[in-house]
Structure 1
Amino acid sequence: MTTIKSTLRRPLAGLASLALIGAVPVAGAIALPAPAFAASGTLDNAVAALRGIETMRADFTQTDRSGQTVRGKMTLKRPGKIRFEYADDVPLLIVSNGKSLTMIDYEVNQVQRWPISNSPLGALLDPNRDVKKYGKLRNTGNPDVLSVEVRDPNKPEYGMITLIFVRNGKAPGGWELTNWVALDAQNNRTTVRLANQRYGVSVSNSTFTYKDPRRASRRPR
C-alpha cells in the first residue's frame, strides 16, 4: 500500500490518479491509436452525459501502475463539486468545492490545493469547457462504448484523462460513465472503475467540506 500512497501524494500524479478503467473491451480500446470514431457515439453525447448528472454517488476502485488497488466512495454534484473518500486503510480525502481541488492527508496532517483547471478532473467537473474544447473520440470498435481522450496540447504538464462511457438508456444522456484512465506528465498511469452509480440523489453542500488536519488529526466520519 506504500506505493499507491506515494502516487496519491504526488501533486499531478495524485490528481491524475483519480482515473478508473473498466474491465472489458475498454482497456484495448484506450490503447488504440486509431482516428476519431463517430459512428454511433459523438463528443456531444459525452458532454451531454456528463452535464446531465446533477448529483451522483458511486463506489470506485483505483489501481496504480504497479497493480495496487484502493477503494472508496465518490460523490458528485453540479456545478463543480466532487468528493473521493477512501477506505479506512488510506487516510486521504480529495474534495472539490467548485473552485479548487483539495487533497487532505490525515496521516501526515497536510493539505494541498490546486485549481480545478490544472487537473485532469476538470474534464469531469466542467465538461462543456474541457471535453468540448479538448476532447477527441477514440476508436473502440464497439458502438455501445464511447472513449473520449481529453488533454490540453498547450499544457502537457496537466496530464491526460480518457473517459469511458457505455450506452445505458437509464443514465443521463443515454451514456453512463463507467471508467476513466489518467496519465500524468511523467507517464504515471492510474485507472479507476465506477460501480453502483446512483443519480439524482440528495447531496448536501456540506459533503464537500472537510476537517483541516492541521487543527485536528482525526479523520472525519
Structure 2
Amino acid sequence: MAKGLLVAGPAALSLYAAPACAQANDSDLAHAVAALREIETLRADFTQRSESSGQQVSGTISLKRPGKIRFQYQRGYPVLIVSDGKALTIVDSEVKQTQRWPIGKSPLGALLNPAKDVMQYGKLMPSPDGQSVLIRVEDRSHPEYGVMMMSFARKVSAPGGLELMAWQTTDAQNRRTTIRLANHRYGIPLEDSLFRVLNNSFGR
C-alpha cells in the first residue's frame, strides 16, 4: 500500500483499551453508529502516523455521505486518497502508481461503506479513561478486510452527541495506521467532484 498509508501504531494513540476506569454504557455502540450516520458532510484536519516507518504526516480530510472521502496531504507528500462512494483509490505520484478496490474490502469500510452494519460487526471496548467511546469493527468472515478501531469523544454539539476523534486500521498484513482528527467542521458544502480522481492526478 502506498507509503504505508492505511498504517500507525498503538504508541501514537491508545486505542486498544486497558482496564476501564468506568463501565461503558450498553447504548454507546448504538449512539456511535447513530453519530456516524448523522454526519452529512465533515471537514477536519488530520495527522497520520505509520508504525512501520514512524513517519508522521498531516493534511485535511473531507467526508460526505454516503461513502465519499478525500485525504488531501500536506504539500510535498506524494499520496492522494479518494473514495467516490464505490471504490477507494490511492494515487502515489512518486512512483506513478494507482491502486483501487471496493470500499467494503478496505479497513476503512466501517467508516465508508453504507452497507457495512457497524451494529453487526462492531464491538464496544472498555475505555481507559471512562470518557471516550471505543468501537472495534471486524468482519470475522473476511479477515482480509482488516480491523478498524474508532475512538469517539462525548460532545453535545457533535452529530449524535459523539465526535469521531481518531481511528486505527490494521490491514491483512498486520500493518497499522492511526489517524487523529481536529478542528471538525460539519455541514459545509462539498462538491462531488472533490471525490473523483482526475486523469492528471500524477501531475497535481
Normalising by structure 1, report the TM-score.
Answer: 0.82
Of residues 65, 76, 87, the one that matches 2:63 is: 76
Q: Is the 8 A contact 1:40 1:143 kept in 2?
A: no
Of residues 45, 55, 62, the one that matches 1:59 is: 45
Query: Is 1:135 the counterpart of 2:104 in the alignment?
Result: no
Question: CA deviation digits over 1:35-54, x for unaligned, max 9?
Answer: xx642652111101100100
CA distance in 2, matches of 1:159, 1:22: 19
Q: Is the 8 A contact 2:151 2:165 kept in 1?
A: yes
By how many angstroms is 1:32 displaced?
Answer: 3.4
1:127 to 1:30, Cα distance in 2 relative to 1, 3 A: farther
Structure 2 residue identity aligned to 1:30:
Y
Structure 2 residue identity aligned to 1:61:
T
1:1-221 equivalent positions in 2, closer than 5 A: 6-8=3-5, 16-17=6-7, 27=14, 30-32=16-18, 38-39=24-25, 42-65=28-51, 66-126=53-113, 129-213=116-200, 217-219=202-204
Q: Matched residue of 2:107: which SS?
A: coil
Question: CA deviation digits over 1:89-136, x for unaligned, max 9?
Answer: 211111111111111122222221100000121111236624122100
Q: Structure 2: any 5+ residue segments left out of the alignment? A: none
CA distance in 2, matches of 1:108, 1:183: 24
CA distance in 1, matches of 2:99, 2:140: 25
Greater percentage in helix = 1
CA distance in 1, matches of 2:102, 2:189: 26
Q: Is the 8 A contact 1:5 1:90 kept in 2?
A: no
CA distance in 2, matches of 1:157, 1:33: 29
1:21 to 1:210, Cα distance in 2 relative to 1, 3 A: farther
1:20 to 1:193, Cα distance in 2 relative to 1, 3 A: farther
Q: Structure 1: any 5+ residue segments left out of the alignment? A: 9-15
Structure 2 residue identity aligned to 1:113:
R
CA distance in 2, matches of 1:32, 1:141: 5
By how many angstroms is 1:77 displaced?
Answer: 0.4
Structure 2 residue identity aligned to 1:6:
K
CA distance in 2, matches of 1:33, 1:143: 10
Which 4+ stretches in 1 moved above 6 angstroms? 19-23
Normalising by structure 2, report the TM-score.
Answer: 0.88
Q: What is the aligned residue count?
A: 201
Q: Matched residue of 1:104: which SS?
A: strand
Q: Is the 8 A contact 2:2 2:90 kept in 1?
A: no
Q: Is the 8 A contact 1:33 1:138 kept in 2?
A: no
Q: Is the 8 A contact 2:10 2:16 kept in 1?
A: no
Question: CA deviation digits over 1:136-159, x for unaligned, max 9?
Answer: 000004443100000111111111
1:191 to 1:111, Cα distance in 2 relative to 1, 3 A: same
